């Protein structure tokens, strides 16, 4: 078997010990910090002494799909093409989910290691990510959401509920993420994969602030499973797809700028098209409200639209396609004409009538902006660093495979 592979121009040493990368969805660093303070996260607390506690920048937009794909390709969206959960497909002329593997423009580290003969497993919370993360992967891959449907032929495993020993979790639950971790521990015991990727969901983080009881309970659960993987001798790299911040006023009402309404009122209905790339099939817990939007606009109006949007309190940046794609390493053909970023406490919506906020049973917490870019980058072994250069969440496989001591 080969001792290393090259994926998207980066070298990855083949693992001599099982290597697990965990993406904790929506893991603002403060969640870990507060769980440690509450005394419920001894594994996380131990990493300062025995491992590496670093901070990395996630890719923009700070959403789930772009970042999961960056982590498994080791590359920014300009390389892998996934720049949102949702986009306006100029080829089809329609707004579509970016869940299909046909949108992926780069091979994954997972697929390449599996093709090189290594045992690879990928477990995600929601099924929406399975097709992208599993693209080209010859091994085990399944979602907790559809664990009951997994078959040997399709997923490389079957009878999952009995094997993992947990019931099928609800899609909006902490248990969906717990199933991912429990399945990871089961896989490590039974199959002992060379490379395993575990990706949770941020249902808890959208609902609960760092240090509050249910957040601490969730991180205690993660801590317990990570400690088990650690005890089984795995090299573990932990990062997040994005952070998470409150997006409300002092009494918990969401701060929303309805961009489509604003632009329709100013330039005429439908003149501009606002796209919210946070949109996916599961928006109940955040109402499709994040801090990042793209706008398509007639070229003749671009300057005026920019000025109009930038004038609103709560808007952090309005960047044209070229500037945004250069700065954030995004694929120019999938971003629209303008990228709008909101400030930490604000979100961007389309039109007021399009957002169903009835599912917001807790004050809105969300992500998408630069304020959610800094995420944990943790390893259970010390790492060699060759410089103090900026780290990215998508360096986690390189750190875990090439740099642990």
Residues at the interface with its own copies (CB under 8 A):
29-30, 32-34, 36-37, 44-45, 47-48, 53-55, 209-212, 246, 248-253, 255, 313, 343-345, 362-363, 371, 374, 376, 378, 388, 390
Q: Which residue has the tokens 């032929």?
A: 153
Q: Minimum distance from CB of 257 to its own copies (Å)?
A: 11
Which CB atom, from 107 or from 210, has the smaller least distance to its own copies?
210
Q: Minimum distance from CB of 377 to its own copies (Å)?
A: 9
Which CB atom, from 54 or from 357, has the smaller least distance to its own copies?
54
Question: What gap in Å lies between CA 335 and CA 258, rounded to an integer?
Answer: 19
Q: Is the CB of residue 18 less than 8 Å from the CB of residue 196?
A: yes
Question: How does 388-401 read in b/e, with b if 16+ C-beta sit within 10 Å?
Answer: eeebbbbbbbbbbb
Which CB atom, from 162 or from 251, has the smaller least distance to its own copies?
251
Which CB atom, from 1 or from 251, has the smaller least distance to its own copies?
251
Is there a cis peptide before residue 61, judged by omega within 30 degrees of 0? yes
Q: Minimum distance from CB of 343 to its own copies (Å)?
A: 7
Question: What gap in Å lies between CA 279 and CA 269, rounded to an integer?
Answer: 21
Phi-psi map region of 270: left, alpha, beta (phi>0 left; psi -120 to 50 alpha): left
Q: Is 272 helix (H, G, I), strand (E, B) or coil?
A: coil
Enter the tokens of residue 92: 């089809």
Which CB atom, from 23 or from 137, has the smaller least distance to its own copies?
23
Q: Minimum distance from CB of 17 to its own copies (Å)?
A: 23
DSSP 64: H
Bridge-based pairing of strands 94-97 and 52-57 is unpaired
Note the helical H segments in 51-86.
64-73, 77-80
Which CB atom, from 286 or from 343, has the smaller least distance to its own copies?
343
Which CB atom, from 153 or from 389, has the smaller least distance to its own copies?
389
How far is CA 319 from each of CA 79, 313, 373, rounded to the nearest angstrom? 20, 16, 17
Which CB atom, from 28 or from 112, has the smaller least distance to its own copies?
28
Q: Minimum distance from CB of 32 to its own copies (Å)?
A: 4
Which CB atom, from 42 or from 167, has the smaller least distance to its own copies?
42
Q: Minimum distance from CB of 383 to its own copies (Å)?
A: 14
Residue 292: beta bridge partners? Answer: 341
Q: Minimum distance from CB of 295 to its own copies (Å)?
A: 21
Which CB atom, from 132 or from 378, has the smaller least distance to its own copies?
378
Question: How does 321-339 read in b/e, with b if 16+ C-beta sit within 10 Å?
Answer: beebbeebbbbeebbbbbb
Q: Minimum distance from CB of 47 to its own copies (Å)?
A: 6
Contacts of residue 30, Cβ cutoff 8 Å, sequence gap at least 6 = 210, 211
Question: What gap in Å lies between CA 243 and CA 28, rounded to an integer?
Answer: 4
DSSP 380: S
Q: Minimum distance from CB of 239 to its own copies (Å)?
A: 10
Enter the tokens of residue 328: 């954030």
Q: Is the CB of residue 386 less than 8 Å from the CB of residue 398?
A: no
Q: Minimum distance from CB of 99 to its own copies (Å)?
A: 30
């Amino acid at each position: 078997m080969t001792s290393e592979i090259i994926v998207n121009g980066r070298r990855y040493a083949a693992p001599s010990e099982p290597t697990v990368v965990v993406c904790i969805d929506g893991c603002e660093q403060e969640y870990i910090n507060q769980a440690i303070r509450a005394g419920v996260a001894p594994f996380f607390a131990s990493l300062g002494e025995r491992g590496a506690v670093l901070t990395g920048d996630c890719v923009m937009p700070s959403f789930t799909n772009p970042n999961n794909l960056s982590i498994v390709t080791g590359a920014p969206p300009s390389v892998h093409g996934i720049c949102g959960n949702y986009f306006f497909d100029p080829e089809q002329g329609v707004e579509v989910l970016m869940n299909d593997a046909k949108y992926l423009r780069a091979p994954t580290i997972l697929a390449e290691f599996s093709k090189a003969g290594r045992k690879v497993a990928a477990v995600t919370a929601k099924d929406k990510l399975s097709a992208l993360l599993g693209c080209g992967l010859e091994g085990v891959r399944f979602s907790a959401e559809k664990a009951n449907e997994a078959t040997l032929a399709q997923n490389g495993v079957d009878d999952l509920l009995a094997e993992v020993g947990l019931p099928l979790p609800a899609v909006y639950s902490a248990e969906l993420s717990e199933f991912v971790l429990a399945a990871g521990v089961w896989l490590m015991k039974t199959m002992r994969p060379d490379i395993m990727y575990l990706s949770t969901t941020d249902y808890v983080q959208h609902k609960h602030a760092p240090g509050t009881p249910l957040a601490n309970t969730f991180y205690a659960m993660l801590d317990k499973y990570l400690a088990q993987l650690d005890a089984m001798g795995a090299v573990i790299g932990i990062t997040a797809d994005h952070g998470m911040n409150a997006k409300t006023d002092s009494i918990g009402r969401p701060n929303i700028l309805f961009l489509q309404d604003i632009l329709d009122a100013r330039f005429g209905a439908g003149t501009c098209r606002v796209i919210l790339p946070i949109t996916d099939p599961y928006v109940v817990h955040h109402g499709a409200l994040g801090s990042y939007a793209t706008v398509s606009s007639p070229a003749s109006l671009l300057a005026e639209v920019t000025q109009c949007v930038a004038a609103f309190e709560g808007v952090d940046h309005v960047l044209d396609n070229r500037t945004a794609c250069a700065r954030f390493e995004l694929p120019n053909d999938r971003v629209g004409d303008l990228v709008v970023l909101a400030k930490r406490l604000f979100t961007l919506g389309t039109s007021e009538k399009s957002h169903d906020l009835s599912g917001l049973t807790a004050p809105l917490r969300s992500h998408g902006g630069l304020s959610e870019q800094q995420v944990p980058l943790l390893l259970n072994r010390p790492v060699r660093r060759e410089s103090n250069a900026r780290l990215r969440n998508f360096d986690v496989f390189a750190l875990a495979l090439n740099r642990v001591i």
